[in-house]
DNA sequence: GGAGCCGCGTACCGTACGGTACGGTACTGG
DNA sequence: CCAGTACCGTACCGTACGGTACGCGGCTCC
C-alpha cells in the first residue's frame, strides 16, 4: 500500500513505523528529563540510531519535533463520547470528565515540555508547531465539548447563545492560570485529588452560570 | 550613595541609568520586531554600543534578559488603587478596570514576547526568568486585586472563603485561553472594543458567582 | 554464497553566536 | 598638556550543534 521503498524521499508523512515510534518516544523522554536543549546527537545516542537515519526519516530538526508533537497528540485522542441519553446528571458527569481529562493533560510533564517547545518555536516563526499543538489540544477538546454543550441546551439544561463563548468560559474556569504558571516553571504540583476538586468546582461554577435554575 | 565607581563589578543591580534604559528598550524593540533569536551582536548594533559594554553592564546574556524583564515590569506597575469608599458600583468598576488592564497587558506584543522568552528559559533551568515574570505579572496583580475582593466581602457585596481561590477564578474568567493561544502563535488580535466586552462579560460572570443576590 | 540495502557508529564540516581583546576617540580632573 | 576613564567599533577566539560523508555489520533476496 504505502509507497515505501520506491521514493528516495521517505520522510515521515504517514504513521511512523515501530522503530520510528521508538525514536519519537526517546525524544519525549529526553525532553522530559533534560530541559529542552535537545540535540540531535543526544537523540541519536538515546535512541541508538545514527544521526543520518534521523535526517533521512525526519528531514531536519524541525521535522523531528513536528513528528514528535504529532505522535504525542495521537495518543491523547482516546475519548469516549458515545451515548446521547442526556439528563442533568449525565451532563454534569460529562463535563466533569472533560475537566478532569483536560487538567490531567495540561498538568502533565509531557504537555508542559511540548508546549514550551511549541511556544519557543512560535517566536522564531517557521514550521508552526504552535498551530499543531493548538489544533490537537484546545481545538480537539473544543470539538468534543461543544456538541455536549449544545445537546445540553437542546435538552433544556443550559442557556447560551454562542457555544464557542460558553466553551471558552468553561476552559477558563477549569484551567484558570494553571497552564501559564506551569509553563513559567512554577512548582505547583497537582495531585489527582486536587484535580478532581478543581474540576468539580469549575463544573459547578459553569452550571451556575449557564445552567437553568432548578425549579 | 551608590558605590558606583569603586567596584570593578558594576553590573546592574539597582535601577538602570538612562543609557542602560536605552539599551534595554533596544532589546525590547528587537524582541518585538524579530522573533526571539536575539543575539548580543544585534543588540549592540541596535543600541549603538559595544558588546564589551553590554557584558560589563549586564554580566552575560541572561543578565541582559533579566534586566530587560525587570525594566519592562517596572513600567507596568502604574495602578491607581487609592480610594476606599466602596459601593456596589465602584466595586464593579474596580474589577472592570483590573480586567481591562490585565487583558491589555497579556494581549500586548511585548508581554507575549517576554513570556515566550521566560517560558523557553524555564525549560533549560538557570536564572528563573519565569519566576520574575510570574512575580511581576500574576502575583503583582493578585496583590492588588485581592484587597479589593476582601473589601467587597467586608462591605457585604461578595461571598467567598479564600480570596486566592476567588482571585484565580476571576483570572480564569478574564483570561480564559487567550494567553496560551497568543503564546502559541494564534492570530487572534483583540481590539480595544473586544477587550472591553470580554472584560465586562468576565466581571458580570464573576459577580454572578460570588456576588450577593441583590435583594 | 554473493549482491544489495538498511541502518548503526563515528568522524567530519560549516557556521552562528556567546564571550573577550584591543585600538581609537571623547571627556574629565589635575 | 597629560593621565585616567568610559565607551564605541571591530576583529578575534572557542565551542556547541545542525547537517553530511563514510566504513562496517547484519539482513533479505536471488
Predicted pLDDT at A186: 94
Helix A163-175 to helix A88-107 angle (10° resolution) is 60
Q: Could you tell me the three cell numbers for B96?
A: 472592570
Q: Which residues pair with B158 in a beta bridge?
A: B211
Same domain assignment for residues A86 and A48: no
Same domain assignment for residues A87 and A140: yes
pLDDT average per 10 residues of sequence, chain B (215 residues): 38 78 96 90 96 95 94 76 76 95 95 95 84 91 93 94 97 97 92 97 97 62
Residue A137 lies in a domain: yes
Residue B6 lies in a domain: no
For A195-212, write each residue's pLDDT tens digit.
Answer: 999 999 999 999 999 997
Please check the confidence at residue A8 and state whether its pLDDT lies above 50.
no
Tell if the CB–CB gap between A116 and B120 is shorter than 8 Å: yes
Residue A7 lies in a domain: no
What's the CA A2/C1' D20 distance, rounded, in angstroms?
28
Residue B107 lies in a domain: yes
Tell if the CB–CB gap between A185 and B113 is shorter than 8 Å: no
Same domain assignment for residues B121 and B39: no
Q: Indicate if the alpha-carbon torsion angle B38, B41, B42, B48 is positive or negative.
A: positive
Q: Could you tell me the three cell numbers for B183?
A: 503564546
Same domain assignment for residues B116 and B68: no
In angstroms, how far apart are the furthest CA atoms of chain B?
A: 68
3-state secondary structure of B91: helix
| A125 → chain B, closest CA residue | B35
End-of-domain residue from the set B28, B51, B74: B74
Helix (H) or strand (E) holding A54: helix A51-58
End-of-domain residue from the set A75, A90, A123: A75
Main-chain phi, psi angles of A195, to 5 degrees:
-60, -45
Fill in the DSSP letter of residue B138: I
Q: Which residues contact B109 (CB under 8 A, 6 or more apart)?
A: B32
d(CA B109, CA B1): 37
Fill in the DSSP letter of residue B136: I
State which protein residues have CB closer than 7 Å to strand D: A 37-41, 50-52, 55, 60-62; B 5, 19, 44, 48-53, 56
Q: Which residues contact A4 (CB under 8 A, 6 or more apart)?
A: A10
Nearest to A124 among B36, B119, B168 (CB): B36
Predicted pLDDT at B17: 86
Same domain assignment for residues A98 and A198: yes
Residues 25-64/B with CB within 7 Å of nucleic chain C are: 37-41, 50-52, 55, 60-62
Same domain assignment for residues B198 and B150: yes
Q: Indicate if the alpha-carbon torsion angle A128, A132, A134, A139 is positive or negative.
A: positive
Report the percent of chain A where pLDDT is more than 70.
88
Q: Could you tell me the three cell numbers for B39?
A: 543575539
- Please state the rounded mean pLDDT for residues A165-172: 97
- DSSP assignment of B176-187 equals TTHHHHHHTT--
3-state secondary structure of B158: strand
Q: Which residues of B touch A207 (CB under 8 A)?
A: none
Which of these ranges, A56-60, A111-115, B1-5, B206-210, has the smallest mean pLDDT?
B1-5
Tell if the CB–CB gap between B122 and A172 is shorter than 8 Å: no
Residue B7 lies in a domain: no
d(CA B1, CA A17): 68
Please check the confidence at residue A6 and state whether its pLDDT lies above 50.
no
d(CA B101, CA A71): 39
Mean pLDDT over each residue of chain A, to the nearest integer: 88
Q: In Å, how far is B115's CA from the nearest CA of chain A?
A: 8
Total domains in the fold of chain B:
2
For cell 504517514, the residue is A14
Same domain assignment for residues B59 and B128: no
Strand stretches in chain B, DSSP E: none
Main-chain phi, psi angles of A14, to 5 degrees:
-95, -160
Question: Which contacts qualify for A74-79: CB closer than 8 Å, 24 or more apart?
Answer: A76/A105, A76/A136, A76/A140, A77/A136, A77/A140, A79/A144
CB B145 within 8 A of CB B98: yes
Residue A167 lies in a domain: yes
3-state secondary structure of B195: helix
Chain B residues near any Cβ of chain A (below 8 Å): 35-37, 113, 115-120, 122-125, 128, 130-131, 133-134, 138, 168-169, 171-177, 179-181, 183-186, 205, 208-209
Please check the confidence at residue A34 and state whether its pLDDT lies above 90.
no
Tell if the CB–CB gap between B180 and A179 is shorter than 8 Å: yes
Same domain assignment for residues A34 and A99: no
Residue A127 lies in a domain: yes
| Closest C1' nucleotide to A37's CA | D17
**Per-residue pLDDT band at A215 (split at 50, 70, 90):** very low
Same domain assignment for residues B141 and B200: yes
Same domain assignment for residues A66 and A149: no
User: Which residues span the domain enclosing A69?
Assistant: 18-75
3-state secondary structure of A81: coil
End-of-domain residue from the set B50, B74, B98: B74
Please check the confidence at residue A178 and state whether its pLDDT lies above 60.
yes
Q: In terms of Cα–Cα distance, which of A103, A99, A107 is closest to A200?
A: A99
Amino acid at each position: 500500500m504505502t509507497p515505501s521503498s520506491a521514493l528516495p524521499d521517505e520522510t515521515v508523512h504517514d504513521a511512523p513505523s515501530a522503530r520510528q515510534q521508538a525514536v519519537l518516544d526517546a525524544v519525549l523522554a529526553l525532553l522530559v528529563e533534560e530541559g529542552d536543549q535537545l540535540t540531535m546527537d543526544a537523540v541519536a545516542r538515546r535512541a541508538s540510531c545514527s544521526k543520518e537515519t534521523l535526517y533521512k526519516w525526519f528531514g531536519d530538526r524541525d521535522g523531528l519535533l513536528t513528528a514528535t508533537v504529532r505522535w504525542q497528540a495521537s495518543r491523547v485522542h482516546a475519548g469516549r463520547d458515545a451515548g446521547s441519553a442526556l439528563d442533568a446528571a449525565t451532563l454534569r458527569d460529562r463535563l466533569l470528565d472533560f475537566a478532569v481529562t483536560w487538567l490531567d493533560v495540561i498538568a502533565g510533564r509531557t504537555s508542559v515540555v511540548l508546549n514550551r517547545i511549541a511556544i519557543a518555536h512560535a517566536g522564531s516563526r517557521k514550521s508552526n508547531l504552535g498551530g499543531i499543538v493548538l489544533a490537537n489540544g484546545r481545538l480537539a477538546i473544543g470539538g468534543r465539548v461543544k456538541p455536549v454543550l449544545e445537546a445540553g441546551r437542546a435538552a433544556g439544561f443550559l442557556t447560551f447563545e454562542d457555544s464557542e463563548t460558553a466553551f471558552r468560559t468553561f476552559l477558563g474556569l477549569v484551567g484558570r492560570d494553571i497552564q501559564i504558571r506551569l509553563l513559567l516553571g512554577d512548582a505547583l504540583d497537582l495531585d489527582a485529588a486536587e484535580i478532581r476538586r478543581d474540576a468539580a468546582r469549575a463544573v459547578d461554577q459553569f452550571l451556575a452560570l449557564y445552567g437553568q435554575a432548578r425549579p
